[in-house]
């Protein structure tokens, strides 16, 4: 690929991070049927929230008979029991380098993964990429690794130039492959450091156990990620029912075809300018009131020019992202491929024109997500069922299976489950109120 950048109101040196993938995509990736399950709640051998690696292991024949060939395991490392929704959740990670004892021992995890493999089912671990709980001993051990916070947690300083943090992260996830035999990872929230995940993939390949990495959101990484979880979704907004009369429900294959065709014939979806103070300005084809504006023009058959205007000249720019309509995957202008601690830091730039080669449709596999743990956030109607299949095996997935996509769905959809919250489950992310009325399906 070739990328050219032209600045109209000044000049600066920058580079677009485009990681070169040294490992070929795995042939079995295109045939995946991914089933997400919360380890602690998929089984209840001793009541709610008593699931374990061993109790899950006993259900593997059922999963094989269901027809899935991969599990997205939401629950393996040490996590908090009350932080989100007043229940145990993988996303309240305490330490990514230790197995949660409530789920079992490292030996139990290895035994369970081996049993999945005996039934030809791949295992993907969920990875919380942004940080750890505020009280994690890891913060006290390595305070220099952390900066800021989100989701009520303390975040890693991914761009602070900490080689020991980078090496630690790569080593942890390489060992999950070489010592436990996992087949890949699902990255929560953001990838942050494609270069580190490329190293994990390279290490796995060299160890004779190549892996798949997929991200929750779209990130252009030149196939460091093999696909994105949320390419297309049958999910409707939290306040709506699943609409049975939509084309997505009646004819998923045609919907996907039209969706791809629409994106292929539209050049730009969004432009985002992030400033050093953390604020963002953006322009979007659907938002006419945005501060930024942009124009696109095809330079030739393979490249597009994008002109962004109304950038705040009083603020220093950290990065600029351009999202082509295909996949909504951004091209990012930032300082260097080495992720130094110094961002762009440009001030006084009001307008920029960029020319780049659009993302090709054959760069990654497509996905079709019926449901995931993200159904039932704060504000979801307490009297409604957050599961989407609700009576229709077609909605559940038969038509989805015959699309050029990887189907992804949450446990429970296969039998049109009613939702029953845990006794401790709150419907609020952080507030401990209305206990026993939560609706987040990844937790129940």
Q: What is the CATH number for 117? A: 3.20.20.80
Residue 190 lies in a domain: yes
Q: What is the mean pLDDT of the chain?
A: 80
How many angstroms separate the CA atoms of 78 and 103, rounded?
A: 9
Q: Is 37 left (phi over 0), alpha (psi -120 to 50) or beta?
A: beta
End-to-end CA distance of the chain, in Å?
A: 45
Token representation of residue 290? 């945005």
Shared domain for 348 and 378, answered yes or no, is no
Between residues 418 and 269, the one the model is more confident about = 418
Shared domain for 340 and 435, answered yes or no, is no
Angle formed by the axes of helices 194-206 and 163-178, nearest 10°: 40
| Tens digits of residue pLDDT in 126-185 | 999 999 999 999 999 999 999 999 999 999 999 889 999 999 999 999 999 999 999 999
How many angstroms separate the CA atoms of 117 and 106, rounded?
A: 17
**What is the pLDDT, as a whole number, of residue 403?**
63
| Tens digits of residue pLDDT in 203-242 | 999 999 999 999 987 655 556 888 888 766 655 444 444 4
Residue 414 lies in a domain: yes
Between residues 207 and 258, the one the model is more confident about = 207
| pLDDT over 80 at 271, yes or no | yes
> Residue 185, Cβ neighbours under 10 Å: how many?
24
The separation between CA 335 and the C-alpha centre of its own chain, rounded to angstroms, equals: 24
| pLDDT over 70 at 60, yes or no | yes
The separation between CA 158 and the C-alpha centre of its own chain, rounded to angstroms, equals: 17
Burial (CB < 10 A; 0-12, 13-18, 19+), residue 169, is buried
Q: Nearest to residue 304, comparing CAs of 359, 360, 361, 355? A: 355
Residue 164 lies in a domain: yes
User: Which 3 state secondary structure label does DSSP give 176?
Assistant: helix
The domain of 170 spans 27-240+363-443
Residue 436: CB partners within 8 Å, gap ≥ 6?
Answer: 421, 422, 423, 424, 425
Residue 251 lies in a domain: no
- Please count the structural domains in the chain: 2
**Phi (first) and psi of residue 117, to 5 degrees:** -65, -30
Q: Nearest to residue 271, comparing CAs of 231, 309, 218? A: 309
> Residue 14, Cβ neighbours under 10 Å: how many?
15
| Tens digits of residue pLDDT in 292-336 | 887 777 766 567 778 888 899 898 888 887 776 554 555 666 544
Q: In the chain, what's the furthest Cα-to-Cα distance? A: 66
Shared domain for 229 and 158, answered yes or no, is yes
Residue 255 lies in a domain: no
Considering only CA atoms, give the Rg of the chain: 22
Q: What residue spans of 283-341 are helical by DSSP H?
A: none
**What is the pLDDT, as a whole number, of residue 258?**
65
Shared domain for 275 and 392, answered yes or no, is no
Per residue, what are the HEC states of 329-383?
CCEEEECCCCCCCCCCCECCCCCEEEEECCCCCCCCECEEECCCCCCCCCCCCCC
Per the listing, tokens 């030149």 go with 222
70-74 and 122-128: which strand pairing? Answer: parallel
Shared domain for 35 and 144, answered yes or no, is yes
Q: Identify the domain boundary among 325, 356, 387.
A: 356
Q: Identify the domain boundary among 356, 383, 408.
A: 356
**What is the pLDDT, as a whole number, of residue 399?**
55
Between residues 109 and 387, the one the model is more confident about = 109
Q: Identify the domain boundary among 356, 378, 404.
A: 356
**What is the pLDDT, as a whole number, of residue 285?**
67
| Tens digits of residue pLDDT in 346-364 | 778 888 887 776 555 445 6
Per the listing, tokens 């020319």 go with 355
| pLDDT over 80 at 27, yes or no | yes
Shared domain for 291 and 157, answered yes or no, is no
**What is the pLDDT, as a whole number, of residue 29?**
92
Residue 418: CB partners within 8 Å, gap ≥ 6?
Answer: 385, 387
How many angstroms separate the CA atoms of 39 and 277, rounded?
A: 39
**Phi (first) and psi of residue 44, to 5 degrees:** -140, 65
Between residues 344 and 276, the one the model is more confident about = 276
Percent of the chain with pLDDT over 90: 42
User: Which 3 state secondary structure label does DSSP give 409?
Assistant: strand
Contacts of 413-422 with CB under 8 Å at 24 or more apart are 413/370, 413/371, 413/387, 413/388, 413/389, 414/66, 414/389, 416/387, 416/389, 416/390, 416/391, 417/387, 418/385, 418/387, 419/376, 419/385, 419/386, 419/387, 419/444, 420/444, 422/41, 422/48, 422/49, 422/87
| pLDDT over 50 at 18, yes or no | no
Residue 122 lies in a domain: yes
User: Which 3 state secondary structure label does DSSP give 127?
Assistant: strand
**What is the pLDDT, as a whole number, of residue 299?**
67
- Contact call for residues 353 and 336 (beta carbons, < 8 A): no
Token representation of residue 24? 């070929």
Residue 254 lies in a domain: no
**Phi (first) and psi of residue 432, to 5 degrees:** -100, 70
**What is the pLDDT, as a whole number, of residue 304?**
73
Mean pLDDT of 121-130: 97
Residue 70 lies in a domain: yes
Shared domain for 367 and 349, answered yes or no, is no
Mean pLDDT of 372-386: 84
| Tens digits of residue pLDDT in 65-110 | 988 999 999 999 999 999 999 999 999 999 999 999 999 999 999 9
| pLDDT over 80 at 262, yes or no | no
User: For 46-50, 306-310, 400-404, 418-422, which range has the lowest pLDDT when averaged over its residues?
Assistant: 400-404
How many angstroms separate the CA atoms of 53 and 101, rounded?
A: 10
Shared domain for 177 and 300, answered yes or no, is no
**What is the pLDDT, as a whole number, of residue 2?**
31
Per-range mean pLDDT, top range of 33-47, 100-114, 265-279:
100-114
**What is the pLDDT, as a whole number, of residue 7?**
37
Shared domain for 345 and 370, answered yes or no, is no
How many angstroms separate the CA atoms of 256 and 262, rounded?
A: 10
Shared domain for 188 and 308, answered yes or no, is no
Shared domain for 318 and 290, answered yes or no, is yes
Token representation of residue 49? 């929230």
Number of H helices, E strands in the chain: 11, 23
| pLDDT over 50 at 340, yes or no | no
Shared domain for 217 and 330, answered yes or no, is no
| pLDDT over 60 at 23, yes or no | no
């Amino acid at each position: 690929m070739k990328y050219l950048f032209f600045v109209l109101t000044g000049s600066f040196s920058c580079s677009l991070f485009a990681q070169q993938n040294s490992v070929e995509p795995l042939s079995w990736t295109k045939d995946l049927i991914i089933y997400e399950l919360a380890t602690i709640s998929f089984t209840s051998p001793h009541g709610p929230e008593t699931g374990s690696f061993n109790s899950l292991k006993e259900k593997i024949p059922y999963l094989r008979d269901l027809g899935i060939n991969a599990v997205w395991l939401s629950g393996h490392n040490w996590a908090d029991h009350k932080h989100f929704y007043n229940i145990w959740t993988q996303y309240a990670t305490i330490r990514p380098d230790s197995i949660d004892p409530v789920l079992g021992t490292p030996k139990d995890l290895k035994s369970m993964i081996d049993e999945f493999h005996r039934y030809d089912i791949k295992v993907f671990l969920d990875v919380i990429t942004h940080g750890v709980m505020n009280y994690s001993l890891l913060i006290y051990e390595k305070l220099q690794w952390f900066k800021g916070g989100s989701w009520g947690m303390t975040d890693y300083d991914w761009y602070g130039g900490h080689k020991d943090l980078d090496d630690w992260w790569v080593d942890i996830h390489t060992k999950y492959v070489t010592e436990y035999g996992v087949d890949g990872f699902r990255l929560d929230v953001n990838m942050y450091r494609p270069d580190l995940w490329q190293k994990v993939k390279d290490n796995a390949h060299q160890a004779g156990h190549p892996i798949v990495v997929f991200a929750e959101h779209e990130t252009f990484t030149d196939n460091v990620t093999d696909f994105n979880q949320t390419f297309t979704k049958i999910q409707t907004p939290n306040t709506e029912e699943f609409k049975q009369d939509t084309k997505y429900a009646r004819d998923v294959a045609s919907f996907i075809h039209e969706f791809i065709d629409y994106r292929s014939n539209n050049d730009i979806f969004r432009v985002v300018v992030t400033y050093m103070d953390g604020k963002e300005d953006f322009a979007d084809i659907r938002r006419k009131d945005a501060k930024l504006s942009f124009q696109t023009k095809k330079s030739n058959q393979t490249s597009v020019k994008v002109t962004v205007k109304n950038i705040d000249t009083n603020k220093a720019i950290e990065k600029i992202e351009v999202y082509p309509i295909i996949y909504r995957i951004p091209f990012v202008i930032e300082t260097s491929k080495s992720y130094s601690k110094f961002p762009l830091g440009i001030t006084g730039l009001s307008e920029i024109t960029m020319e780049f080669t659009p993302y090709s449709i054959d760069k990654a596999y497509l996905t079709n997500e019926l449901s995931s743990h993200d159904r039932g956030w704060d504000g979801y109607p307490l009297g409604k069922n957050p599961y989407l299949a609700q009576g229709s095996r077609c909605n559940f997935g038969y038509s989805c299976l015959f699309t050029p996509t990887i189907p992804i769905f949450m446990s429970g959809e296969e039998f049109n489950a009613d939702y029953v919250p845990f006794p401790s489950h709150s419907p609020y992310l952080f507030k401990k109120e209305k206990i026993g009325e939560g609706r987040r399906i990844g937790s129940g």
